[in-house]
Structure 1
Amino acid sequence: MSIVIWSDGRLHSPDAPLVAGIDHGLTVGDGVFETLGVRRGQPFALTRHLRRLRTSALGLGLGEPDEQLVRDGVAVAMAAAGPDAGRVRITVTGGAGPLGSGRFEPDDQRQTVVVLVGPGAPTPLARVVRVPWVRNERSAVAGLKTTSYAENVVALAAATRRGADEAILANTLGLLCEGTGSNVVVERDGELLTPPLTSGCLAGITRELLLEWAPEAGIAAREADLPYAVLDDVLAGTAQLAVTGSVRNVSPVVALDEVEVEPGEVSLAARAAFDARADDQVDP
C-alpha cells in the first residue's frame, strides 16, 4: 500500500510539500513523534501513545499538542488507508522557527502536525547485535521520543550491515539500556527483566503493557538494573533475550552478534499472551 499523509486538516499526496524550510523540526530536530501498530483496523493503544506524545513535547519545551486535532488526523488517515494499514506515525514539531537552536516560546509557536499511515507487520522473532555507542542516561532528552534520531539511524545501519534487525545499546554506566527503536527484556530463571527508566531507556508502550499484563497471565516480569555483560549470558545459553516495540510487539531474540541463540520459553509465552490481550483491548 502507498503511504497516506494527513496534515493541516486534510489529506496530501506522498510527494506534496508539507513543511516549511524553516520548520524547527527540520532545521534542528525540534520535534516529537509516536509510532503505533494497528490491531483489528484500529491504531493500537492510541490513548497511551498520545499521553507519551504530550510528555515528550512538554519535556522538550514545546507547547502541548492539540490531542483532539491529532485524533481527528489519525481517524481520517486510517479511513483513507483501508484494511492494509499496519503502522501509524504522528509527528509534532515546533513549526517555523529561527535558523539556530533558539526557538519561539510555546505560545508563539504554530506547531506542525503530520500523521502518516503505511504498511507494517509484527516481527515475531528478532536478530540483534551489540554496537559500540551508548545512551546518555543524563541527556537533556533522555526518555523523550524526539525526532532527533540520527544516533539510532547510525546504530541501526551498523546492525543491518551485520544481518540484524536491531542494535542493543548500553548506557554510560555500562548497564543494559535499550535498542534503537525497542526496549530490551532479559529472560532469566523463569522471569522477565527489563531495564528501569533511570537507565535512560524510552518508556515504551509495549514495555509498559508487558509489565502490566504479564503477571496477569502468570508470567513474572519486573524492572531490574542489568549489566550490559548480561548479553554474554545470552550467548552462553544461561539467559535469553527479547525486544519489544509498538509494531514488532514482543519479539524473542534468535540471534545475537551473528550467533544463533534459542528463544526463551517465557519470552515465547509472553508474546502469545500479549498478542491475545492486545486483540481484545485495542486501546488499553
Structure 2
Amino acid sequence: MAEDRRVVVWFDGRLREHTEPLVRADDHGLTVGDGVFEACELLDGRPFALTRHLDRLERSATGLGLPLPDRDEVRRAVETVAGAWGEGLGRVRILWSAGPGPLGSERAWGPGTLLVAASAVSPPRPVRVAVVPWVRNERSAIAGLKTTSYAENVRALAHAREQGADEAVFGNTRGELCEGTGTNVFVEADGMLLTPPLESGCLAGVTRALVMEWASEAGIDVREQTLPLGALKDARHAALTSSTRGVVPIVGVDGRELAPGPLSEAVAEIYTRRHLETPDP
C-alpha cells in the first residue's frame, strides 16, 4: 500500500494548499518556539476528545503567557479540516503561536497565529523504548505545557532511533521516571498499573487521563505514583499512551525484551472500545 502523504491545511479562515507559504518569517512560533499545540486522533473525519484537547491548549497558552485563541474559531477550523480529510486514520494538529514579534525573546507583538492541519499516522503497534541520558526539568517554566519548543524531543527521539527503539523516555532531575517525547508511561507492578504524577514534570496526557478514568471504572487498580527511573528498566510489563497511539505495550527497554502485560492488554481493549463509542468524552 502506498504511503499516505496527504496534508490538509486551514489558515486564516479557509483551506489552503499545504505547499503555500502562510506563516510570517518573524512569527514567534517559528523564531523562538513561542507557541503551543495539540494533536488529536482523526478517525474517518471525526476528531477524538476535542474538548479535552482544547482545554489543555488553553492551559498551555495561559502557562506560556499567551492570549487564548477563539475556541469557536478553533472548532470551526478543526471541523473544516476533519471534513476535508475524509476517511482513514490521521491526526489533526492545532497550532497557536504568539504571532509576529522581534527576532529575540522579547514578547511578541501579535496577533496570534492559528494554523490547523491534518496528516496520516501509522496504526498503533507495540513499541521499544530507550531511556535517554538527558532529563526533564520538573521545575522548568514550561514543565507540563505542550509547547512548540520541541527540539529536546527531536534530539532524544533521534538518539532512541539510533539504539533501535521507537520512542525515547526521560527521567527528571530527581532521577524519577517522567515521560516519553510524546507519550506517558505506565508500569505494571503488584497487580496495579502505575504512572508518574504530574509533579514529575510529565505532560497531563489526554489519553493518560482517560485510561485512568476508564480503567478505574472497570475495576483495574491504576494509580499515580512517584517511581524511580529504574522501575521502567526493571519492569516486567509496561505500556505507553498517547493521542495517536492509544494504549500500546512496551516490548523492549534498552534492548531488554518485555512481554505485553495482562493489565496493559486489558486497558488497551477498554480504551479501544470506549474511544470508538464516545468521540468527545
TM over 0.5: yes
Q: Which of 79, 83, 86 is matched with 1:79 structurally?
A: 83
**Correspondence for 1:34:** 38
Question: How large is the RMSD of aligned CA atoms in angstroms?
Answer: 1.1
Which of 241, 245, 256 lines up with 2:238 in the alignment? 241
Give per-residue Cα distances to partners, 1:98-151, cap 9 Å, x unaligned: 1110114xxx52111111111114423111111100000000000000000000
Distance in 1 separating the partners of 2:219 and 2:272 = 15
**1:114-263 correspondence runs (5 A):** 114-234=115-235, 239-263=236-260
Instruction: In structure 1, give the amino acid aligned to 2:114.
Output: V
Change (3 A) 1:29 1:156: same
Partner amino acid, structure 2, of 1:217? A
TM-score by length of 2: 0.96
| Matched letter for residue 172 of structure 2 | N
CA contact (8 A) 2:97 2:112 kept: yes
Read off the aligned partner of 2:126 and give its amino acid letter. L
How far apart, CA to CA, are the structure 2 residues paired with 1:277 and 1:85? 17
Query: Are the equivalent residues in 1 in contact too, given 2:43–2:87 (CA < 8 A)?
Result: no
Question: Which secondary structure does the structure 2 equivalent of 1:83 belong to?
Answer: coil
Segment drifting more, 150-159 vs 36-45: 36-45
Query: Is the CA contact (8 Å cut-off) linking 2:233 and 2:253 kept in structure 1?
Result: no
Whether 1:8 and 2:12 are equivalent positions in the alignment is yes
Paired amino acid for 2:135: V
Q: C-alpha deviations, 1:129-180, integer Å up to 9, x for none?
A: 1110000000000000000000000000111112211011100000000001
Segment of structure 1 superposing worse, 174-183 or 158-167: 158-167
Aligned to 1:281: 278
Q: Contact 2:44/2:89 (CA < 8 Å) preserved in 1? A: no
Contact 1:124 1:250 in 2 (8 A): no
Contact 2:46 2:279 in 1 (8 A): yes
- 1:64 is matched with which residue? 68
Aligned length: 277
Question: Which residue in 2 is equivalent to 1:269?
Answer: 266
Cα offsets for 1:3-35 (capped at 9, x unmatched): 000011011111100100000000100000001
Output the CA distance in 1 between the equivalents of 2:176 and 2:68: 33
Mapped contact 1:129–1:168 kept (Cα < 8 A): yes
- SS for the counterpart of 1:86 is strand
3-state secondary structure, aligned to 1:212: helix
Deviations 1:17-70 (A, max 9, x none): 010000000010000000111245310000000000000001000001111111
Q: Which runs of 5+ in 1 are unaligned?
A: none
2:55 paired with 1:54:
no
Identity of aligned residues (%): 55
Compute the displacement of 1:190 (Å): 1.4
CA distance in structure 2 between the aligned counterparts of 1:41 and 1:68, rounded to whole angstroms = 18
The one-letter code matched in structure 2 to 1:247 is T
Residue 93 (structure 1) aligns with:
97
Tell me, yes or no, if the aligned pair for 1:78 and 1:85 is still in contact at 8 Å: no
- Give the conservation status (yes or no) of the 8 Å contact 1:30–1:148: yes
Does the 8 Å CA contact 2:168/2:181 hold for their aligned counterparts?
A: yes
Secondary structure of residue in 1 paired with 2:87: helix
Gapped regions of structure 2 (runs ≥ 5): none
Q: TM-score, normalised by structure 1?
A: 0.95
Runs of 4+ aligned structure 1 residues displaced above 3 Å come to: none
Counterpart CA distance in 2 for 1:85 and 1:244 is 17
